[in-house]
Chain A
Amino acid sequence: MTLVAEATQAFARSLDVDETLRNTIARFSEYLHAEAGAVFLVDGGRLVCASCVGPVDITGQSLPLHSGIAGRVLDRRRPEIVHDVRREPAFEASLDRRTGFVTRSLICVPLVVHDEAIGVLELVNRREGSGRFRERDLHLARVLASAAALAIHNARMVASLLEKERIERELHMARSIQQALLPAEPGAGGGLAGCNVPATEVSGDFFDYVPLSDGRWFFSLGDVSGKGTNAALLMAIVSSLLRCLAREGLSPAPLLAHVNREFMETAVRGMFVTVVAGVYDPGTARVRIANAGHLPALVVRNDGRIEEIPASGPPVGVLERVAYEEVEIDLDGGVLYLFTDGIVEGGAALGVAGLRARLARAHRDGGHPEDPCRLVELGAGGRKDDRTVLVIDPRRARAGVAGGRLLESRIRASPDALRQMRRQLRGTLAALGLSTMTVDRLVLAVDEALSNVVRHAYGAPDRGDLVLRVELQDGWLRFVVEDEAPPVDPERIRPRAGDPLEPGGLGLQCIERIMDRVRFTHREGGRGNRFVMEKRIMGGERGLPAT
């Protein structure tokens, strides 16, 4: 039985089935005194020799599937011993004719895995004694067959896993190429920002914005019917086409009509795209926009009122001749939200009504626009569809471009007033779409600066006020802390180096590690100090300011 044990173990260990199969057939053939041995596997409607030993190599040669002795063994899943093939009318002689080999006797055993016959094992022509195989030979052959069947099955599983992994790798590559098509940074000084999360590795959704030569910005957001690679390819074509034509100076409605014509000529039958396209002027905060079969674009006003820009025509790729309408909207005192149905439909999504309520509430309560990357998380529960959001916020744009003030707040210089200030600051920073980590760190740095004013500049609580201003300019966030305390010696405003357990200076250390630039001055007129901290936030992470 050692032979059987060895063969079984060899199969269990080996992933190189061909080699193991050959060795095992050889050893069993030898042990059972067979002249030749072969394994045939079902492949493309034939029984194809996967491995063999013997005087002729028949690897790759095949037998018919449902006739002959092998075919019968396969169909019945019952092993057979044939002592003399000349007396066996079913014997399939084609292989012998082709190779010149003469088959006299044989053992044929089915290879069965999980109730499926995947092939047969044949041992041919017993060389010893009577030349007839015995019943106990059959028993050994069956053991060999079950080990071989399992090994072949395992190897096939591994191969299909490798194939799956290869496909995943390719999808991943497609995904990164596709991501490269999406804008990497907020546009128009932060006024335009989008976020896309695909349901699979590749997405049929897209958003885009690009500056035009006259200072305006073209933007688009769309959803290609279907999912996966086809949808992704079409998405790439449509978004590129939109971008190119927009740069040629076409305004949104004729642009969509033009893309529709192109699409009807070239695209795959049965696929279509819903698109919102528009042009945004940061100087006037006005938007011209057209909607081809897409969900309504929403303009949310500061008081929570919502205006809709519904579709003015069918999706691109449905009808030959279409004309779209264009509307112009003043975004002053409002924010424009574009989104795909993955945000509002399916899974844990809010539905359009839920999204509207949420946006209205957010604007009424804080006046802060919703961050696109937070909105895409809303539909995350379902994960059946791609999720994409594009937000146009003229206030943020003005802040970014013109050096806008995001926050100015005055508090008593007292420990228990700091919490309130942190809360305000956190809201302001979160509205910029910064990551939680970045917001946490910036809040800590500013809190440390405020604490230092309370502790060191005033020396005791409630001796005066302090003012925090936050400004955004050219990708730099600036935090200015001013007090009315007696001027502090700049030499004292230096972080301590060395042993981290040494008390004092910890706050300044934190500030210096978080901020990019820090400076301390006395205020004009000889009363009060000014501490300025700056942090660069634009131009890094995809769709988000860098940290």
Chain B
Amino acid sequence: MAYPLREQGNCVTVVLDGEVDLAASPAAREAILEAVSRGRHVIVDLSTVEYMDSSGVACLVEGYQVARKKGRRLVLAGAGQAVMNVLALARLDRVFPLFPDTAAAARDCGA
């Protein structure tokens, strides 16, 4: 499974969906790292993610760290209860910049 990227100016959006578990996280990781290599601003759209485990969270963390090293910005948009639960359990709910939806996240990166 491949996750689509949407590019607009220097802002790249990764759209994750469904269940981001051990089976899906390698593709999620690839998509996020690709986005980070392309854009100054990366938005991870989580609005259609129904489930995420720690391997999914690890992808977000890795993307966030790589972006930070490159002086880029990675933000999360549209995280639902399932995603917020696992982020909170991993004590990461205050690490990522969170936006209610991709439109709000896009405004943040000045798109």
- Contact flags B76-99 to A (C-beta < 8 A → 1, else 0): 000001100110011110010000
Interface pair B95/A500, CB less than 8 Å apart? yes
Given contacts A509-B89, A509-B90, A510-B90, contact A501 B21 (CB under 8 A): no
With an 8 A cutoff between CB atoms, is A422 at the interface?
Answer: yes
Interface pair A455/B58, CB less than 8 Å apart? no
Interface pair B23/A500, CB less than 8 Å apart? no
Interface pair B58/A506, CB less than 8 Å apart? yes
User: How close is A430's CB to chain B, nearest CB, in angstroms?
Assistant: 15
- Contact flags B15-47 to A (C-beta < 8 A → 1, else 0): 000010111000000000000000000000000
Interface pair A510/B86, CB less than 8 Å apart? yes
With an 8 A cutoff between CB atoms, is B108 at the interface?
Answer: no
A514 to B58, CA, bound (A): 18
A422-B21, A451-B53 provided; 12 other pairs, C-beta below 8 A? Answer: A415-B23, A444-B86, A448-B53, A448-B54, A501-B64, A503-B58, A503-B61, A503-B62, A506-B58, A509-B91, A513-B89, A514-B89
User: How close is A96's CB to chain B, nearest CB, in angstroms?
Assistant: 72
A513 to B62, CA, bound (A): 22
Given contacts A451-B53, A451-B55, A507-B53, contact A501 B89 (CB under 8 A): no
B residues near A440, Cβ cutoff 8 Å = 81-82, 85
Interface pair A500/B55, CB less than 8 Å apart? no
With an 8 A cutoff between CB atoms, is B14 at the interface?
Answer: no
Interface residues of A in 408-459 (CB under 8 A from B): 415-416, 418-419, 422, 437, 440-441, 444, 447-448, 451, 454-455
Shortest Cβ-Cβ A-B pairs, 5 listed:
A415-B23, A506-B54, A415-B22, A507-B54, A500-B91
Interface pair A422/B90, CB less than 8 Å apart? no
A410 to B19, CA, bound (A): 21
A190 to B70, CA, bound (A): 55
By beta carbon, the residue of chain A nearest B91 is A500
Given contacts A501-B95, A503-B58, A503-B61, contact A510 B89 (CB under 8 A): yes
A514 to B89, CA, bound (A): 8
Chain B residues at the A interface, C-beta cutoff of 8 Å? 19, 21-23, 51, 53-55, 57-58, 61-62, 64-65, 81-82, 85-86, 89-92, 95
Q: Which of A416, A422, A454 contacts B51 (CB 8 A)?
A: A422
A497 to B91, CA, bound (A): 11
Question: What are 17 sample pairs from A and B whose C-beta atoms fall under 8 A apart?
Answer: A419-B19, A422-B21, A437-B81, A437-B85, A444-B85, A444-B89, A447-B53, A451-B55, A454-B22, A503-B58, A503-B62, A506-B90, A507-B55, A509-B89, A509-B90, A509-B91, A514-B89
- Contact flags A145-182 to B (C-beta < 8 A → 1, else 0): 00000000000000000000000000000000000000
* A to B contact number (C-beta, < 8 Å): 64
A447 to B82, CA, bound (A): 14
Given contacts A444-B85, A501-B65, A506-B58, contact A415 B90 (CB under 8 A): no
Interface residues of A in 498-526 (CB under 8 A from B): 500-501, 503, 506-507, 509-510, 513-514
A212 to B111, CA, bound (A): 70
A518 to B53, CA, bound (A): 19
By beta carbon, the residue of chain B nearest A503 is B58
By beta carbon, the residue of chain B nearest A451 is B22
Given contacts A451-B22, A509-B90, contact A441 B85 (CB under 8 A): yes
A292 to B31, CA, bound (A): 65
A residues near B57, Cβ cutoff 8 Å = 506
User: How close is A272's CB to chain B, nearest CB, in angstroms?
Assistant: 45
A454 to B85, CA, bound (A): 23
A500 to B60, CA, bound (A): 12
Interface pair B21/A419, CB less than 8 Å apart? yes
B residues near A509, Cβ cutoff 8 Å = 54, 89-91
B residues near A506, Cβ cutoff 8 Å = 54, 57-58, 90
User: How close is B80's CB to chain A, nearest CB, in angstroms?
Assistant: 11
By beta carbon, the residue of chain B nearest A414 is B23
A residues near B21, Cβ cutoff 8 Å = 415, 418-419, 422, 447, 451
B residues near A441, Cβ cutoff 8 Å = 85, 89
User: How close is B6's CB to chain A, nearest CB, in angstroms?
Assistant: 26
A447 to B54, CA, bound (A): 9
Interface pair B89/A455, CB less than 8 Å apart? no
A residues near B95, Cβ cutoff 8 Å = 500-501
Q: Which of B22, B62, B82, B90 contacts A455 (CB 8 A)?
A: B22
Interface centre among A415, A437, A455 (most CB of B within 10 A): A415
A residues near B92, Cβ cutoff 8 Å = 500-501
By beta carbon, the residue of chain A nearest B52 is A444
User: How close is A495's CB to chain B, nearest CB, in angstroms?
Assistant: 11
Given contacts A444-B85, A501-B65, A501-B95, contact A510 B54 (CB under 8 A): yes
By beta carbon, the residue of chain A nearest B61 is A501
A56 to B95, CA, bound (A): 74
A residues near B82, Cβ cutoff 8 Å = 440
Interface pair A444/B58, CB less than 8 Å apart? no
User: How close is B23's CB to chain A, nearest CB, in angstroms?
Assistant: 4
Given contacts A440-B82, A448-B53, A506-B54, contact A418 B23 (CB under 8 A): yes
